[in-house]
Amino acid sequence: MSQAIKETHFNFPGQVGFYKGKVRDVYMFDQELVVVASDRISAFDVVLPKAIPFKGQVLNQIAANFLKATADIVPNWVTSIPDPNVTIGKKCEPFKVEMVIRGYLAGHAAREYKAGRRMVCGVPLPEGLKENDRLPEPIITPTTKAAEGHDEDISREDILAQGIVSEADYVILEKYTRALFKRGQEMAHEKGLILVDTKYEFGKFGDQILLIDEIHTPDSSRYFYADGYEVNLEQGLPQKQLSKEFVRQWLISNGFQGKEGQRVPEMTDEILESISDRYIELFEKITGQAFVKADTGQIENRIEKAILAHLGQ
């Protein structure tokens, strides 16, 4: 069984802060962020007790692939990827909204529509749609970035009225969001996939707007397989998804949905390996590239050395 990295506790010269997310460990410097993609995995807002070998590498390299492929559309925060699990980039001031864009009536938008609402984040939806229908054109349905608790839907009008983002900047965010989604859909189509919806985060470095965080990964996006989409739609069947849904389904089948009093089922080596294999499958399907497993013999030492070398230590 390959080693996995559950958490890191580095202390680098010049480091001014540290933040531990659900999946990423973020080391802060004056002008830079060093982001370590761990192998932690979360479901139902719970970080599961065991880490998944190669999951961090998979997500880090998928994000790197798409950030590189969209750099001609919008500049991004990345300056270096010194290790398969590490991305280093400019320390930006994030906009306090996430730019969610939807090409299909799925997920949250489908639930709102089913409840009778024909307006999502201030965007009107036509009558007569059914779940997973393609929308007449992609819609932007932003959410607030909550410091605590859940993100909340918000309209363009309220973002501007509350001064969360200036109108001049928001126009640019919308333009970038539509162009990135178009590119993402084209790249997905080439791989026999449909990019259903996704989210983008932006920040400012000085006066420049940059694309930050990850993009087009299975953790931040919803993909359907193109093969079978029309048949499933006509017959009212669920679409085959490329996502970490299989992890949630395994947990549900073993009596766990993140509710109070429920215990995470035993994650055996066999289960961990099968989840790892599925993540590698995701990488290969989504990028069209063969996955090359990094050496996990001394994974923490490997990561620390790569970061120190970048810092000139």
What is the per-residue pLDDT across 207-228, written as a single tens digit (0 to 9) for each? 999 999 999 998 889 999 999 9
**Inter-CA distances, 207 with 31, 49, 93, 165, 200, Å:** 14, 41, 10, 14, 19
What is the rounded distance in angstroms from the CA atom of residue 16 to the CA atom of residue 144? 27
Find the mean pLDDT for residues 15-25.
Answer: 94
pLDDT class of 148 with cuts at 50, 70, 90? low
pLDDT tens figures, 97-133: 999 999 999 988 998 999 999 999 999 999 999 999 9
| Helices within the chain (DSSP H only) | 55-69, 107-114, 156-161, 167-190, 229-235, 245-253, 269-287, 299-310
What's the pLDDT at 2? 81
What's the pLDDT at 146? 65
pLDDT tens figures, 295-312: 999 999 999 999 999 998
Residue 44 has pLDDT above 90, yes or no: no
The percentage of residues in the chain with a pLDDT greater than 90, rounded to a whole number, is: 85
Residue 150 has pLDDT above 80, yes or no: no
Asked if residues 32 and 13 have their Cβ atoms less than 8 Å apart, the reply is no
The percentage of residues in the chain with a pLDDT greater than 70, rounded to a whole number, is: 98
What's the pLDDT at 45? 80
Residue 1 has pLDDT above 80, yes or no: no
